[in-house]
């Protein structure tokens, strides 16, 4: 296993006091390796899981030549190039009920979408352009040989990969597997993530907060984000700000999980004793990331578990999770290749103040006005204001070198949710 500290010390211009966001992302990606354990699952239960082996198609798709349209199956050699052709109608081919006969010279067969192309027929003329006169069909000039047909194996060939290893299974992949008649797949086991919040001021929901206490919201936010990522979450509750409790929690977490996600305790005032504890137990680097919100963060390894020590402020927790933990945990889950999160160019309705030298993530609301997509910020942007996140449907990403933004200027936007 690569030593984290050794790997990092080889990097050019590595500055843990002001690490640019893209550099931190690259370091995380280079250090995290996918889990190796696998399991067999019914396709129906495999949504969101990651294929551990490529899926080889057992069949041709389509399995047989068939019609792409409702119309008439004909022989291309019968058609006169520039004039109408008159053909004799000899039967009908339905989807699921083939025409048993043969399309001989001068003949045609009525055919439905998905029906097998009858022997002899090689071209389909759509029903809208033909004239039917008794038992005869008039085909207009200008048809192309082979048109409106789907050929056996044109989508997928038997014996070739239908899906690669590393693919995360969405509804489209689930349907594709079913279309191949595949009932079970081999997927990576779920990544186990131990989660706890740190802080003497935290009150668990269900209890009455004493003066100065706040409800522990981060654990719920993080649990929700981890669940959406497909991780198995070990919720370890709140750990108080003392050495013994923290050490015990980290040791238990590292023994039982592939990754540990914590919130709080990494800011300047608190980092010292956490730093001692972490460095005694494993290899941990403290980063001040050149970003807002979410400047302090810890990353490392305790035993076999990767540690993501996220800041305590509720918005910082979400932003750092999205920008760092998400992709690292996806890689740990076996997803490959990791496509970058799409960044859209959208004009920003409001001016935004910013200094160059750090990446800023503002909470934004994407909306349509007069047919044009625009974005605006969701009110006050303090890193403790979770409301700004709940009202947002995107993050406005203001790049490291960028200065203030004038109203109407185009900014990069990261959409927070996908379709189902
Ligand atoms: P810290 O990073 O521990 O100094 O925390 C920074 C701020 O975030 C403080 O105002 C904390 O009260 C708040 N905070 C820390 N942990 C949580 C949590 N689990 N839920 C809600 N707020 C928190
Ligand atoms: Mg704290």
Domain containing residue 184: 38-57+164-188
What is the structure's pLDDT at 2? 66
266 CA closest ligand 1 atom index: 2
Angle value at C-alpha 258, between 303 and 41, nearest 5 degrees? 145
Query: What CATH number should be reported for the domain holding residue 43?
Result: 3.90.105.10
Residue whose CA lies nearest to ligand 1 atom number 16: 312
Is ligand 1 within 6 A of the CB of residue 265? yes
Q: Is residue 316 part of a domain?
A: yes
| The last residue of a domain, from among 150, 174, 201 | 150
Q: Is residue 157 part of a domain?
A: no
Residue to probe by mutation, ligand 1, list 262, 263, 308, most atoms within 8 Å of CB: 263
What is the structure's pLDDT at 270? 75
Same domain for 11 and 121?
no
Length of the chain, please? 420
CA 163 to chain centre: 16
384 CA closest ligand 1 atom index: 8
Ligand 1 mean position, distance from CA 264 (Å): 5
Count structural domains, the chain: 4
Dist. CA 344–CA 394, nearest whole Å = 10
Is ligand 1 within 6 A of the CB of residue 214? yes
Q: Which residues contact 355 (CB under 8 A, 6 or more apart)?
A: 403
Query: What pTM was estimated for this model as a whole?
Result: 0.92
What is the structure's pLDDT at 303? 95
What is the structure's pLDDT at 236? 98
Is ligand 1 within 6 A of the CB of residue 264? yes
Residue whose CA lies nearest to ligand 1 atom number 15: 312
Residue to probe by mutation, ligand 1, list 199, 218, 222, most atoms within 8 Å of CB: 199
Ligand 2 mean position, distance from CA 263 (Å): 8
Q: Is residue 158 part of a domain?
A: no
What is the structure's pLDDT at 185? 98
Is ligand 1 within 6 A of the CB of residue 197? yes
Q: Is residue 420 part of a domain?
A: no
Q: Is residue 281 part of a domain?
A: yes
Query: What CATH number should be reported for the domain holding residue 210?
Result: 3.40.980.10
Q: Is residue 156 part of a domain?
A: no
Same domain for 172 and 49?
yes
Ligand 1 mean position, distance from CA 272 (Å): 16
What is the structure's pLDDT at 374? 98
CB of 126 closer than 8 Å to CB of 97: no
Phi/psi of residue 405, nearest 5 degrees: -110, 130
Residue whose CA lies nearest to ligand 1 atom number 10: 313
Same domain for 49 and 168?
yes
Ligand 1 mean position, distance from CA 383 (Å): 10
Dist. CA 155–CA 61, nearest whole Å = 5
Residue to probe by mutation, ligand 1, list 264, 287, 316, most atoms within 8 Å of CB: 264
Q: Which residue has the tokens 């004239």?
A: 131
Same domain for 127 and 180?
no
197 CA closest ligand 1 atom index: 19
Same domain for 133 and 227?
no
Mean pLDDT, 10 residues at a time, the chain of 420 residues: 80 88 94 96 98 98 97 97 96 97 98 98 98 97 97 96 98 97 98 97 95 97 97 97 94 98 88 80 92 93 96 96 98 96 96 96 97 96 92 97 97 93
Of 353, 289, 354, which Cα lies nearest the Cα of 321?
A: 289
| The last residue of a domain, from among 271, 303, 332 | 332
């Amino acid at each position: 296993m690569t030593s984290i500290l050794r790997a990092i010390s080889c990097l050019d211009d590595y500055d843990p006091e002001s690490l640019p966001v893209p550099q931190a992302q690259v370091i995380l990606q280079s250090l995290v390796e996918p889990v190796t354990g696998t399991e067999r699952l019914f396709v129906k239960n495999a949504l969101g899981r990651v294929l551990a082996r490529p899926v080889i198609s057992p069949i041709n798709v389509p399995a047989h030549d068939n019609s792409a349209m409702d119309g008439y199956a004909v022989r291309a050699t019968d058609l006169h190039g520039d004039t109408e052709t008159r053909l004799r109608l000899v039967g009908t081919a339905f989807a699921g009920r083939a025409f048993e006969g043969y399309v001989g010279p001068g003949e045609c067969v009525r055919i439905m979408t998905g029906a097998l192309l009858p022997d002899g027929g090689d071209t389909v003329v759509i029903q809208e352009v033909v004239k039917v006169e008794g038992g005869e069909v008039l085909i207009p000039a200008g048809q192309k040989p082979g048109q409106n047909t789907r050929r056996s194996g044109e989508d997928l060939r038997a014996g070739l990969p239908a899906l690669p290893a590393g693919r995360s299974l969405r509804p489209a992949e689930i349907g594709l597997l079913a279309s191949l008649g595949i009932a079970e797949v081999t997927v990576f086991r779920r990544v186990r993530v131990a989660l706890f919040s740190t802080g003497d001021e935290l009150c668990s929901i269900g209890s009455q907060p004493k003066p100065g206490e706040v409800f522990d919201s981060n654990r719920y936010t993080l649990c929700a984000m981890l669940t959406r990522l497909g991780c198995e979450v070990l919720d370890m509750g709140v750990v108080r700000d003392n050495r013994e409790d923290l050490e015990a929690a980290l040791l238990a977490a590292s023994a039982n999980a592939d990754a540990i996600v914590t919130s709080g305790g990494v800011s300047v005032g608190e980092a010292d004793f956490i730093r001692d504890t972490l460095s005694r137990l494993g290899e941990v680097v403290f980063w001040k990331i050149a970003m807002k919100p979410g400047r302090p963060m810890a990353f490392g390894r305790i035993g076999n578990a990767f540690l993501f020590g996220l800041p305590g402020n509720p918005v910082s927790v979400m932003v750092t999770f999205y920008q760092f933990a998400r992709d690292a945990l996806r890689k740990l889950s076996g997803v490959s290749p990791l496509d970058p999160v799409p960044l859209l160019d959208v004009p920003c309705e409001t001016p935004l103040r910013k200094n160059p030298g750090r990446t800023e993530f503002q909470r934004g609301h994407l909306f349509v006005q007069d047919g044009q997509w625009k974005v605006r910020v969701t009110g006050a942007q303090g890193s403790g204001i979770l409301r700004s996140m709940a009202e947002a449907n995107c993050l406005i990403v203001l790049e490291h070198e960028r200065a203030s933004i004038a109203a109407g200027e185009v900014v990069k936007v990261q959409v927070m949710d996908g379709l189902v």
